[in-house]
A = this chain, B = another copy of it.
Amino acid sequence: MSGTRPLRAVSRESSFPEWMRSVQAQVEAALAHGLPSGEAIPARLHRAMRYASLDGGKRVRPLLVFAAGELTDAPCERLEVVASAVELIHSYSLVHDDLPCMDDDVLRRGRPTCHVEYDEATALLVGDSLQSLAFELLARADIGDHGRQLEMVRLLARASGSCGMAGGQAIDLESVGKSLNQPELELMHALKTGALIRAAVLLGALCGDALSIPENASLDRFAKRAGLLFQVVDDILDCTASTATLGKTAGKDAAAEKPTYVSLLGLERARELAADLQTQALEALSQFGERRRRLIELTEFIARRKF
């Protein structure tokens, strides 16, 4: 942990782009504070952890944490720790996914991947250490209710492991060169990207007042649709956007013969599926009234993003 810093308030009256930039800056500061200093021993590992986690990405999962936190009037200082924990899990997964024995990629967030900038062994330890740090930060946060905080640790651990993100990555590896049907592709993505996106939404809401059982079920439905939407858009961008725009290698799923929504459905029907998922996601939020504003805006952002 390095230094102290002031809390920033995110105004509820601000525009979506203002709100987004404010949350991104707040999470960046929380990550910079939560990560070990680049001078602390072992310094090279700590510098590499900071390289892999700071100054990069859209921070979609942290934005989901904060947007879901609006539903339950959650305090900013809780949301930023929880958002940091979720983002550290995401960052670790990118570092490991880029390794030569996985996707073997050299570009991430417009910069050399961690193992290219440092070395493979360091990148392996960076991913391992970012995962540990996520659980350390989450268990150390001041959430108020210890029982609920343990539930949050369980939820993040489950979403990260073999029945979540890492399990989806394993199915992805096995599916190279195979043809999956739509339910199989959905299962893969529900785990690979969906599980952590769902966790981000549920964890954000858990930072505030308790939701009723029907509200929780609706939020879970939203989270699952939003996760799938994110992946369908990702597949569309992988085949329509350029490497420069994405900041990562474009077209690599097709090159690797990985099944995607575009390869399965074609571009036009993939776009229709994205539109349907957006509609379903927003319908699930209907009971939340004014408090759902940031989630609606963020869903729109996820659907329309160009990178």
Is B122 within 8 A of A170, CB to CB?
yes
B102 contacts A170, C-beta separation under 8 Å: no
Number of copies: 2
Binding site for B on A (CB under 8 A): 36, 40-42, 44-46, 49, 92, 96, 99-102, 119-122, 124-125, 127-129, 131-133, 135-136, 139-140, 146-147, 149-151, 153-154, 157-158, 160-164, 166-167, 169-171, 173-174, 187
Nearest to A36 among chain B residues (CB) is B162
Give the residues in chain B near A44, CB-CB below 8 Å: 170, 174
Q: 23 A-B pairs, CB-CB below 8 angstroms?
A: A41-B167, A42-B171, A45-B162, A45-B170, A96-B124, A96-B128, A101-B120, A101-B124, A122-B170, A124-B124, A125-B169, A127-B128, A129-B161, A129-B162, A129-B166, A129-B167, A133-B157, A133-B161, A136-B158, A136-B161, A139-B157, A146-B147, A150-B153
Say yes or no: A146 contacts B157, CB within 8 Å: no
Task: Closest B residue to A164 by CB, please name it.
Answer: B132
Chain A interface secondary structure, helix, strand, loop or mixed? helix
A100 surroundings in chain B (CB, below 8 A): 101
Tell which of B99, B121, B132 touches A161, judged by Cβ atoms closer than 8 Å.
Answer: B132
A193 nearest CB across to chain B (Å): 15
Most buried by B among A102, A154, A162: A162
Q: A147 CA to B157 CA in the complex, in Å?
A: 18
Residues of B within 8 A of A132 (CB): 131, 157-158, 160-162, 164, 166
A157–chain B nearest beta-carbon distance, Å: 4
Residues in B neighbouring A36, C-beta threshold 8 A = 162-163
Q: How far is the CB of A300 from chain B (nearest CB, A)?
A: 32
Q: A90 to chain B: closest CB distance in Å?
A: 13
How far does the alpha carbon of A204 sit from the alpha carbon of B229 in the complex, in Å? 45
- Return the contact of A154 from the options B122, B128, B139 (Cβ within 8 A): B139
Instruction: Quote the shortest CB–CB distance from A194 to chain B (angstroms).
Output: 15
Q: Give the nearest-CB partner of A123 in chain B.
A: B101
Q: Which residue of chain B lies nearest to A158 when distances are taken between CB atoms in the complex?
A: B136
Asked, given contacts A45-B166, A146-B150, A162-B132, whether A122 binds B173 with beta carbons under 8 Å apart, the answer is: yes
